[in-house]
Structure 1
Amino acid sequence: IGDTIGTARTTSEEHHFAPPTLETVIIPTRASDRGALHVALDQLAEQDPLINLRQDDVRKELFVSLYGEVQKEVIQQTLALDFGIDVEFLETTTICIERPIGTGAAVEIIHRAPNPFLATVGLSVEPAAIGSGVEFRVEVSLGSMPFAFFRAVEATVHETLRQGLYGWQVTDCTVTMTHSGYAPRQSHAHQRFDKSMSSTGGDFRNLTPLVLMSALKQAGTMVCEPIHRFHLEVPTDTLGPVLPVLTQLQAVPQAPVIHGSSCTLEGGIPAARVHELQRRLPALTRGDGVLECAFAGYQPVQGTSPTRPRSDHNPLNRKEYLRHVQRRV
């Protein structure tokens, strides 16, 4: 009881790279290049850790994650020169995350309606420390079923949390397995193993999203947007025009520090607003403004939470999800 499957992540873990905060749909100019584009981007992602891909199988769209608008131009030129593929990009959007705001639990029992799978899975979800990622724990005996089934549940938990209640990746939470059960290998008399009578890894992989999303819905989540820390140097006599623009872009500057004809401003700004600030700064400062930005974390979105369309068949829609799973099986 209380055992952890896999390697637990702690708040002290450091990332070599800040996470990308923007993404866009990438489209080949020639429809016939769609397959070649996917292969080319896979190769670029293997070579460059700053390139991340996300496939939307429902809408047949390919997303590329970005650290800034300039990266679009780099990817576009590389694809054209190295692979002979011309591409276009749709509007850039911000990549948010979700964090649980409460505790939730759900369970589905084998051989008990409405569970159609030969598996018992119970899961609870609770908030964890900011920056801790996702930890999977087991409260049941590891001897209660084959270890491969525990691993199937753990892997599916991480996969499912890539899309939360609002469609964003869920993080900074602890998921605990509270119930387990399976049907041992069985067969009809003098016949071979019958998977219709015995549990398989597929039963656990298919059931886990239903249980986990039910628990997550009970817990609730908040959407958080990426924030950049900015350091801005401008001529002192341009501070008047600059400050209202920072407010307009939802930046939160600290008190300015004035050094004669030069003024320094530091603070936080939503990642989605950085490009606009970069675009407007030259006109505001006669071209003398210098801006430096770096990823600083996430903060709760104010107002209506943005959503991202799901790229799978939503486990929160039980009927649709089961129809898709049964068709796939």
Structure 2
Amino acid sequence: MMKRKINIGIVAHVDAGKTSLTEQLLFHGGAVRAAGAVDLGTAQTDTLAVEQARGISVKTADAVLETEVAVVNLIDTPGHADFISEVERALSVLDCAVLVVSAVEGVQAQTEILCGAIQKLGLPCVVFVNKLDRAGSDFESALHDLQEQFSERTLLCVRRPENEGAPEAAAVPDTDCLENAVMLTGDEALLERYLAGETLDFPRTVCAAVENGAVPVLCGSSKTGAGCAALLDFLCACMPAASETDGEFCARVFRVEHDKTLGKLAHVRIFSGSLEPRQSVFLPRLGREEKVGGLRRPLGRKQADIQKAGAGEIAVLFGLSEVRAGDVLGRGTIPRAESSLAVPLLTVKAEPETPDKLMALVAALTALADEDPMLHFVWIREKQEIQLRIVGEIQLEILGELLLERYGLRAKFSAPSVIYKETPAKAGEGYDAYLMPKPCWAILRFQIEPLPRGSGLVYESKASPAQLLYRYQNHVETAVPEALEQGLHGWEVTDLKVTLTEGGYHHVHTHPLDFFVCTPLAIMDGLRNCGTTLLEPILHVKMTFDPALSGRVIGLIQNARGTLLEQTVRGGRQSITSEIPVAESLALPVAFAKLTSGRGTMATAFSHYAPCPPDFMAERERIGTNPLDRAKYILEKRNALSG
């Protein structure tokens, strides 16, 4: 009998017990002799020294187990918000997600983000309510929180705790599960068969319900192992399996790591076709092929060489020197897009401990940016300066430890500063005629209009091919986003529509690259005519604390220019959700911890960008020459393009 292949990701808010659950599943699946412990640094999927020392996951890790009916690839993801870019790449390669929710803390900020992403992607999901062995656990309260996220209509309770709070936290099958599963399939014929007393196949019924959007809920304790075997059996029997599509090879890279001997190792999910050692694969990002040196199968901290990997499988490739995390390999179509969860809101400058290590630091950060492109590593050669974008300060601490552990480099980082953005203040027009010095000839006219917050960039061309050949219009379309990376105040320009209304070229004097020079000139002319409004990032903040401190917490929020959204009291604890500018939030965790004597919890997530106060201004030092300094910019740009 052919075994089903299932790629399952374990996702959760930090400290919900996700890595411990992964260990229990590996143990009950026979992949390890004993479940490792996060606190002891023996977890199979915590492979980095920094993970073992800190007891948190900072990188996605994968391992395989095999039961009588299925081959399961487990992907353990980080829970801390600073490493959510790892989670978003993992979500794009899964067949199913296991969302771990603590029965003590309930649904937390990161859990809410994950719920939204899972639903947006249409990804099958199972919830495991964990920590039923802990004092203060409340299954029904956690279930209530989940109903607010997924809606009561979609939740399918498979197992409930029999002795909640007992050491083993035993879970028993829910007596109404099959009936609810039939209802959630949306299949009227199946419902009629059930009501007629026909015995239905439980796994098939649940699988049909999941395909219709149902979210099964199980429970237990990853610390004691209670409920974990039942969860594994349920996943193997009831969740949709991987599609094993023949045809042209296509895969996505969800993790890149470094091996001292083999160099880059790319962890991929294969969606169609197959792959063998020494086979060439196409990298769309680079527009060329690279040869795979060899294949391995991930086994937690170990890997085993294999000679072939096919659709529905996860493999580790080596030999691809230019690959980056998030890359698509092959010419096929990926069935699921990446979700956008990580939003770096802070920028820092990095420098080595001693000046002679500068280029070594550049090389090391280049390699680490291939593992996490969200770092947005920028090396400014003219200033001999390194810039990085980060999600939070924990990420920066881990980055420093990785540089020391892997490369022996001690790096110093500047204090984080907020990443602002700009948006047009009003509609306007931008124009430039780049006609000198010859040989050159490019004429462009743009209409620039502000759009609602969150719209990003919308581009349209109304220029006819008689005015401007399509190949030159393609050059303009490529150059517009680059021209908007730095606005009047040096920040990225967003939430606008740019329309190319007019263009001109000369059949003799136009150089193929002239429109890469002319586009920023015309765009900046338009921004000068429109003016720009500065935007600041806003966080969604949830604070939970003793109700006696309510007034003082509200004062803390108001002093941070915060806006109150909601207040609730449940189980003797008060929760306040608010929106607070990132610039005012940097010192807030320390102030809140001091106010609550460390007994309060605070979780944050990016919400949106909003206009800064009218009297506030933040200028960012420009990289390169400003196109408004036209003559100097043309000279610099022509030298760069010819080089």
TM over 0.5: yes
> What is the match of residue 391 of structure 2?
67
Query: 1:315 matched to which residue of 2?
Result: 627
What SS does the corresponding residue of 2:349 show, helix, strand or coil? strand
C-alpha distance in 1, partners of 2:604/2:630?
43
Aligned to 2:403: 79
When residues 251 and 56 of structure 1 are mapped into structure 2, their CA distance, relative to the original with a 3 A threshold, is farther
- Taking only the aligned residue pairs, the percentage that are identical comes to 28
Task: Provide structure 1 residue ranges, at least 5 long, that are not aligned to the other structure.
Answer: 1-12, 186-197
- Tell me, in whole angstroms, the C-alpha distance in 2 between the residues paired with 1:42 and 1:226: 27
Alignment of 1:149-160 (within 5 A): 149-160=472-483
Match among 273, 284, 291 for residue 584 of structure 2: 273
Match of 2:486 in 1: 163
Counterparts of 1:19-30 in structure 2 under 5 Å? 19-30=343-354
Deviation at 1:257, TM superposition (A): 2.8
Q: Which has the larger radius of gyration?
A: 2
Aligned to 2:366: 42
Mapping 1:184-203, distance limit 5 Å = 184-185=507-508, 198-203=509-514
CA contact (8 A) 1:68 1:275 kept: no
Amino acid of the structure 2 residue aligned with 1:305: M
Distance 2:369 2:420 in 1: 21
Contact persistence 1:59–1:311 (CA under 8 A): no
Give the counterpart letter for 1:320 in structure 2. Answer: K
Q: CA deviation at 1:101?
A: 2.0
Q: For 1:198-213, what aligned pairs fall within 5 Å after superposition?
A: 198-213=509-524
State the alpha-carbon separation in 2 of the partners of residues 218 and 85 from structure 1: 47
| 1:1-329 → structure 2 map (5 Å cutoff) | 15-109=339-433, 111=435, 117-185=440-508, 198-254=509-565, 256-259=567-570, 261-302=572-613, 303-325=615-637, 327-328=639-640
Q: Distance in 2 between matches of 1:315 and 1:275?
A: 34
CA pair 147-39 structure 1, distance change in 2 beyond 3 A:
farther
The higher-RCO structure (CA 8 Å, 6+ apart) is 1
Q: Displacement, 1:131? A: 2.1
Q: Distance in 2 between matches of 1:283 and 1:98?
A: 35
Query: Contact conserved, 2:454 with 2:609, CA < 8 A, in 1?
Result: no
Q: Secondary structure at the match of 1:142?
A: coil
Instruction: Report the AA paired with residue 65 of structure 1.
Output: R
Give CA deviations for 1:169-203 in whole Å, capped at 9, x if unaligned.
01111111122111214xxxxxxxxxxxx211222
Contact residue 29 and residue 88 of structure 1 kept, 8 A: yes
Aligned pair count reads 304
Secondary structure at 1:256's aligned position in 2?
strand
Query: Helix, strand or coil: the match of 1:121?
Result: strand
1:211-245 Cα offsets, whole Å, 9 max, x none, are 11001111121111111101110111222332222
Q: Distance in 1 between matches of 2:523 and 2:483?
A: 8
What TM-score does the superposition give when structure 1 sets the normalisation length?
A: 0.85
List gaps (5 residues or longer) in structure 2: 1-336
Compute the TM-score of the two structures, normalised by the length of structure 2: 0.45
Give 3-state SS (helix, strand or coil) of 2:617's partner. coil
Query: Which amino acid is the alignment partner of residue 310 of structure 1?
Result: R
Indicate how the Cα distance of structure 1 residues 115 and 299 shifts in structure 2: closer, same or farther if over 3 A, else same.
farther
> How far apart, in 2, do the equivalents of 1:108 and 1:22 lie?
34
- Deviation of 1:74 after TM superposition, in Å, equals 0.6
